[in-house]
Amino acid sequence: MKQVTMYQNKRVLVIGLAKSGFAAASLLHELGANVTVNDQKPFAENEAAQQLEKLGIRVVCGGHPLELLDEPFDLIVKNPGIPYTNPIVEKALKKGLPVITEVELAYQISEAPLIGITGSNGKTTTTTLIYEMLKEGNKHPLIAGNIGTVACEVAKTAREENWIVTELSSFQLMGICEFRPRIAVLLNIFDAHLDYHGTKEAYVQAKGNIFRNQTTSDYAVVNADDNTVMKLAEGFDATKILFSTTKILENGAYIKDGSVYWNEEAVIATSDIALPGKHNLENILAAISVAKLVGVDNETIAHVLMTFTGVKHRLQYIATINGRKFFNDSKATNILATQKALSAFEGEPVILLAGGLDRGNEFDELIPYLHNVKAIILFGQTAPKLERVAKQAGIETIKHVDNVEKAVPVAYQLSEPGDVILLSPACASWDQYKTFEQRGDIFIGAVHKLK
């Protein structure tokens, strides 16, 4: 960890605990800051707050009292999930206080260069692929961010020979000042998290922050097939590295004659790739681009791609029961992710389990992808909206259930040998579950009960 002195005796307010808030508060305390932690959860039920208090950190629990900001704080560190419309955050911004997220702290203390991966879809798969390629190529990677350990915790132990491979959300990227990844990846941009950002323009700007502080000595890996991504990347200084599933590129990663290419080198035949779904080719091309920039050889990259079958909750194969194949795609928290999941099973009959948090959007964009869906099982706040779309798509069998656990046996009863039973909700989980991981784990458990 770099010797950082800028926080000594600074008064810092950490708003929101969870993993990132706890890590940020602990680190800042270690760096000599006078830390106050403010969390919504009552102190008696708040194990993290209790642990921090034992370290000598002041904690204020049970709400976000605005009078806290009457104190002379120098900095706010915000949990990414707390929106900027929260009254205490709004007041902090009006007072001119800097509001950051913990990834900024990670960058400030890290001895290792960072690789940042963002996009509306595919972040976790791409982050994991990059990590696996660098690990097999002996590049000493560490994995951080939304996919694993909080970034500033990883950065504390990283050394110069490491690469910190970091999955980044738009929420995190809104809270940066100097954060500068050596390699930044922007996979795609789709209408997502509009309840948080308010407009697509604000969401796009947040994603673009991943490039904001890069210089010409850094790399921006961008999707040549996404016009929004390309236009956004043009406004920044990093050296652009393109990838495309539809175009043959002079430089970059692309598909030609049934093989994946890096520049003019064939890396692997697409038929040898273990990861299912055409949509994953974008993620693979992005990962190859990063691996080659770091210096991983083609043979190592190909070996990873021949053996890597995916990550948990992202089009994850669970089991085949009496000829029915079950897939967990709980990480499909928006329409595009579910479109891609359905495209992966083109030509196979699908029973779709979908629904969740209502963020105000409709689901008409799903209709062209529902032609092979023979039945749909709906749950959560968006069930009525999805029912309308399912009827418009001509799906005759539409069932409503209370939750994911109850959806599984209903789907099985409606299925026949050869069917795919797919959890791909097209919605966030927060109306019924703490996380998409919890939702996916409940689905997995319900499938195993069928055995």
**Are residues 112 and 96 part of one domain?**
no
With cut-offs at 50, 70 and 90, classify the pLDDT of residue 194.
low
pLDDT of residue 193: 57
**What is the average pLDDT across 86-101?**
95
pLDDT of residue 310: 82
pLDDT of residue 246: 96
Give the pLDDT confidence of 78-88 residue by residue, as tens digits. Answer: 999 898 999 99
CB atoms near residue 64 (< 10 Å): 18
The count of structural domains within the chain is 3
How far apart CA 106 and CA 321 sit, in angstroms, is 45
- pLDDT over 90 for what percent of the chain? 86
415 is in an annotated binding site: no
Q: What is the CATH number of the domain that holds 321?
A: 3.90.190.20
Q: Which residues pair with 185 in a beta bridge?
A: 117, 221
Would residue 357 count as lying in a domain? yes
Would residue 3 count as lying in a domain? no
Give the pLDDT confidence of 305-331 residue by residue, as tens digits. Answer: 999 988 889 888 899 999 999 999 999
pLDDT of residue 245: 96
**Are residues 137 and 67 part of one domain?**
no
Concatenate the DSSP letters of all residues of 84-110 into one string. TTSHHHHHHHHTT--EE-HHHHHHHH-
Would residue 264 count as lying in a domain? yes
**Cβ distance 305 to 283 under 8 Å?**
no
> What are the two backbone dihedrals, phi and then psi, of residue 54, each rounded to the nearest 5 degrees?
-65, -25
Which residue is associated with the tokens 């599933």?
245
Q: What is the CATH number of the domain that holds 53?
A: 3.40.50.720
440 is in an annotated binding site: no
Altogether, the residues listed in the chain come to a count of 451
- pLDDT over 70 for what percent of the chain? 98
Edge-to-edge strand list for the sheet holding 373-378: 316-321, 324-328, 420-423, 350-354, 373-378, 397-400
**Are residues 141 and 41 part of one domain?**
no
pLDDT of residue 76: 97
How far apart CA 367 and CA 373 sit, in angstroms, is 10
Give the pLDDT confidence of 403-433 residue by residue, as tens digits. Answer: 999 999 999 999 999 999 999 999 999 999 9
**Are residues 136 and 48 part of one domain?**
no
The overall average pLDDT reported for the chain is 94
Would residue 427 count as lying in a domain? yes
With cut-offs at 50, 70 and 90, classify the pLDDT of residue 55.
very high
End-to-end CA distance of the chain: 49
The token duo for 257 is 């004659």
**Are residues 199 and 171 part of one domain?**
yes
Pairing of strands 265-269, 259-262: antiparallel
125 is in an annotated binding site: yes
Would residue 4 count as lying in a domain? no
Would residue 2 count as lying in a domain? no
CB atoms near residue 228 (< 10 Å): 17
429 is in an annotated binding site: no
Range of the structural domain that residue 390 is part of: 316-450
120 is in an annotated binding site: yes
Domain boundary residue, one of 255, 277, 307: 307
**Are residues 290 and 171 part of one domain?**
yes
Would residue 1 count as lying in a domain? no
Domain boundary residue, one of 43, 68, 100: 100
Nearest to 46 by CA among 68, 69, 16: 16
pLDDT of residue 81: 86
CB atoms near residue 159 (< 10 Å): 11
**Are residues 130 and 44 part of one domain?**
no
**What is the average pLDDT across 87-104?**
96
pLDDT of residue 302: 98
The token duo for 101 is 């997220």
The token duo for 184 is 């930044």
With cut-offs at 50, 70 and 90, classify the pLDDT of residue 145.
confident
**Are residues 390 and 335 part of one domain?**
yes
pLDDT of residue 18: 86
149 secondary structure, DSSP code:
B
pLDDT of residue 317: 87
**Cβ distance 194 to 201 under 8 Å?**
no
Would residue 144 count as lying in a domain? yes
Q: Is the pTM of this model over 0.85?
A: no
Domain boundary residue, one of 246, 272, 307: 307
With a CB cutoff of 8 Å and minimum separation 6, the contacts of 54 are none
Least confident of 133-147, 185-199, 296-310, 428-442: 185-199
Which residue is associated with the tokens 């062209």?
368
Q: Which residues pair with 142 in a beta bridge?
A: 164
**Cβ distance 334 to 190 under 8 Å?**
yes
119 is in an annotated binding site: yes
Query: SS3 of 286, please?
Result: helix
**What's at 316, amino acid-wise?**
Q
123 is in an annotated binding site: yes
Concatenate the DSSP letters of all residues of 166-190 into one string. EE--HHHHTT-SS---SEEEE----
In a 13 Å sphere around the CA of 70, the CA atoms on its Cβ side amount to 3
CB atoms near residue 405 (< 10 Å): 15
